[in-house]
Amino acid sequence: MSKTIYMDDIYKMIELLPDEKQNATTDEGECIYTNIDGDHCIAGEIIRMLGFNLPDVEDYDNRLPVRTFVESRYPDKFDDNAIEMLFVGQSTADRLTHSEDRLAWCFAKRDMMNFFNRTRKEEIAQRKLQVGE
């Protein structure tokens, strides 16, 4: 089965997300994909916007790192770089949510865009090497 979600798809979703937001958390402060109010973490929101289902509040999957979650629920649907881009955003937003930064998603979006740009530059450089430029 071919992969269907690429970094470009993630990038398009990033532009639609608010800056002033934090990840969904449990009552104990643990970051999760979906809380009882229906809020999501940044990776979960992007996954949902792309048309995939998120775990229910009580599901074990609700607490998994995005790499594990995507690979177990949607194998072969996300390109490796797309998963890594989601992981970058999830990591930043989780860390800043724990420190109560109201701009957690803003910085997570920045880090995902930086990952996108760096990866694209590396791909272009590799192609140029292959054609002898």
Residue boundaries of the structural domains of the chain: 7-131
pLDDT for the residue numbered 105: 98
Q: What is the pLDDT along the chain (133 residues), one digit of tens a residue?
A: 456 999 999 999 999 999 999 999 998 889 999 999 999 999 999 999 999 999 999 999 999 999 999 999 999 999 999 999 999 999 999 999 999 999 999 999 999 999 999 999 998 888 888 887 6
pLDDT for the residue numbered 124: 87
Q: Which residues contact 86 (CB under 8 A, 6 or more apart)?
A: 10, 43, 46, 47, 66, 70, 78, 112
Read off the pTM: 0.91
